[in-house]
Amino acid sequence: MIESKMIVAINEQINAEFYSAYLYLSMASYFESKNLMGFANWMRVQAMEELTHARRFYAFLSSRSARIILTAIDAPPIEWTSPLHVFEEALEHEHKITASINSLMNLSMDLRDHAMTSFLQWFVTEQVEEESNVDAVIQSLKLVDNQAAGWFLLDKDLATRAFLPPVGLTI
């Protein structure tokens, strides 16, 4: 049995994950408007990952016979000053999601919900990877220092990122 406090918190996390996807799609649109299609691809893949995270939470709540409540998603920003600015905001956002996952983990431990704690461990590990991936792009952007040739090469590199859907995840 899952406690109502946990159901509410997971429903809030589902909304946060959908917002994340929305944010990354907005970032992709920004990059498309700048003809940085590799950067846009990176963000679209990130959006797909965030949708997958939402689906994982949704499926887990459903498997525990809990009600999923979908709420309104806030509008994301639409303008940034540079590719570096976009990725810095992406990293800031990932820090917020990490804090949210950590809060869920703390709640699951306080409630002694071992199934939830086990489930959340995947997200704890995933957030380390998420932050690292964004930071790697930030470090590359700092290296190229607004040089067109560097952006061109980085854009080509980011175009190779592909989304790999998890096996067996359905909602």
User: What confidence score (pLDDT) does residue 169 get?
Assistant: 64
Sequential pLDDT tens for the chain (171 residues): 899 999 999 999 999 999 999 999 999 999 999 999 999 999 999 999 999 999 999 999 999 999 999 999 999 999 999 999 999 999 999 999 999 999 999 999 999 999 999 999 999 999 999 999 999 999 999 999 878 888 899 999 999 999 988 777 665
Name residue, tokens 């690292």: 132
The domains found in the chain, sorted by start residue, are 4-73+81-158 (1.20.1260.10)
Measure the CA–CA gap between 7 and 65, rounded to whole angstroms. 10
Q: What is the 3 state secondary structure string of the chain?
A: CCCHHHHHHHHHHHHHHHHHHHHHHHHHHHHHHCCCHHHHHHHHHHHHHHHHHHHHHHHHHHHCCCCCCCCCCCCCCCCCCCHHHHHHHHHHHHHHHHHHHHHHHHHHHHCCCHHHHHHHHHHHHHHHHHHHHHHHHHHHHHHHCCCHHHHHHHHHHHCCCCCCCCCCCCC
Question: Contact, 123 vs 53, CB < 8 A?
Answer: yes
Per-residue model confidence (pLDDT) at position 10: 98
pLDDT score, position 6: 97
- Model pLDDT, residue 170: 62
Contact 60, 11 (CB under 8 A): no
pLDDT recorded at residue 156: 95
List the structure tokens of 165.
Answer: 């859907």
pLDDT in tens, 24-48: 999 999 999 999 999 999 999 999 9
In angstroms, the Cα distances linking 27 to 30, 70, 84, 129, 149 are: 5, 23, 12, 20, 22
